[in-house]
Amino acid sequence: MSEEERSFRAPRGTYDLLPPASAEWQSILRLAMDVFAKAGYQPVETPIFEHTEVFERGVGEASEVVGKQMYTFIDRGDRSLTLRPEGTAPVVRAILEHNLHRGALPVKLAYAGPMFRQERPQKGRYRQFWQVGIEGVGVDAPALDAEVIEVGKRFLAMAGVETELLLNSIGHLDASCRLGYLDALRDFLHARTADLAEDDRERVNTNPLRTFDSKERATVAVMKDAPVITDHLCDDCATHFEGVRSLLDDIGVAYTLEPRLVRGLDYYMRTAFEFVAGGLGSQNAVGGGGRYDGLAESLGGDALPGIGFALGVDRILIARGDDHVTPSPLDVYVVAVGDEAARTAFRVVTELRSAGIGADLDLARRSMKGQMKQASASGARWAAILGDREIASGKITLKDLTSSDQKEIDIKEIVPAVRS
Partner RNA sequence: GCGGCCGUAGCUCAGCCAGGUAGAGCACCCGGUUGUGGUCCGGGAUGUCGCGGGUUCAAGUCCCGUCGGUCGCCCCA
CB of 80 to RNA, least distance (A): 20
CA distance linking residue 128 with residue 314, whole number of Å: 10
Query: Considering only residues 110-129, where is the footprint of RNA by CB under 7 A?
Result: 117, 119-126, 129
16 interacts with RNA by CB under 7 A: no
377: left (phi over 0), alpha (psi -120 to 50) or beta: alpha
Q: Is 360 helix (H, G, I), strand (E, B) or coil?
A: strand
Which residue(s) pair with 339 in the sheet? none
> For the chain, how many helices (H) and strands (E)?
15, 16
Query: Considering only residues 303-322, where is the footprint of RNA by CB under 7 A?
Result: 310-312, 314-315
Of 120, 96, 112, the C-alpha closest to 35 is: 112
Of 213, 270, 204, 210, the C-alpha closest to 240 is: 270
Among residues 94, 247, 375, 411, which is the contact residue for RNA, using CB under 7 A? Answer: 375
CB of 207 to RNA, least distance (A): 7
Do the Cβ atoms of 333 and 384 come closer than 8 Å? yes
Site string for RNA, 154-193 (x = CB under 7 A): ----------------------------------------
User: Quick one: 15 or 188, whose CB is closer to RNA?
Assistant: 15
Among residues 399, 411, 414, 418, which is the contact residue for RNA, using CB under 7 A? Answer: 399
User: Quick one: 59 or 100, whose CB is closer to RNA?
Assistant: 59
- Cβ-based neighbour number of residue 204 at 10 Å: 18
Q: What is the 3-state secondary structure (H, E, C) of 104-166?
A: CCCEEEEEEEEEECCCCCECCECCEEEEEEEEEECCCCHHHHHHHHHHHHHHHHHCCCCCEEE
CB of 89 to RNA, least distance (A): 11
Among residues 264, 340, 342, 409, which is the contact residue for RNA, using CB under 7 A? Answer: 264
Q: Residue 187: exposed, middle, or buried by beta-carbon count in 10 A (0-12, 13-18, 19+)?
A: exposed
Using CB under 7 A, which of the segments 19-27, 91-99, 152-160, 364-372 binds RNA? 364-372
User: Quick one: 197 or 234, whose CB is closer to RNA?
Assistant: 197
Query: Considering only residues 279-298, where is the footprint of RNA by CB under 7 A?
Result: 281-288
Query: Considering only residues 54-113, where is the footprint of RNA by CB under 7 A?
Result: 63-65, 69, 86
Q: If you count them, how many residues does the chain have?
A: 420
User: Quick one: 144 or 272, whose CB is closer to RNA?
Assistant: 272
Using CB under 7 A, which of the segments 139-147, 233-241, 256-264, 296-304 binds RNA? 256-264
Q: Is 377 helix (H, G, I), strand (E, B) or coil?
A: helix
Of 29, 252, 327, the C-alpha closest to 159 is: 29
CA R_g for the chain: 28
Q: Is 96 helix (H, G, I), strand (E, B) or coil?
A: helix
CB of 274 to RNA, least distance (A): 6
Using CB under 7 A, which of the segments 32-40, 136-144, 178-186, 263-271 binds RNA? 263-271
User: Quick one: 7 or 38, whose CB is closer to RNA?
Assistant: 7
358 interacts with RNA by CB under 7 A: no
Residue type at position 285: A
Query: Considering only residues 377-396, where is the footprint of RNA by CB under 7 A?
Result: 377, 383, 385, 387-390
Among residues 337, 357, 411, 414, which is the contact residue for RNA, using CB under 7 A? Answer: 337
Task: Give the binding-site size for RNA (rule: CB under 7 A).
Answer: 73
Do the Cβ atoms of 265 and 59 come closer than 8 Å? yes
369 interacts with RNA by CB under 7 A: yes
Query: Considering only residues 217-246, where is the footprint of RNA by CB under 7 A?
Result: none
7 interacts with RNA by CB under 7 A: no
Alpha helices, H only, 173-251: 178-192, 203-206, 217-223, 235-250
Which residue(s) pair with 287 in the sheet? 275, 311
User: Quick one: 72 or 406, whose CB is closer to RNA?
Assistant: 406
Using CB under 7 A, which of the segments 163-171, 173-181, 187-195, 202-210 binds RNA? 202-210
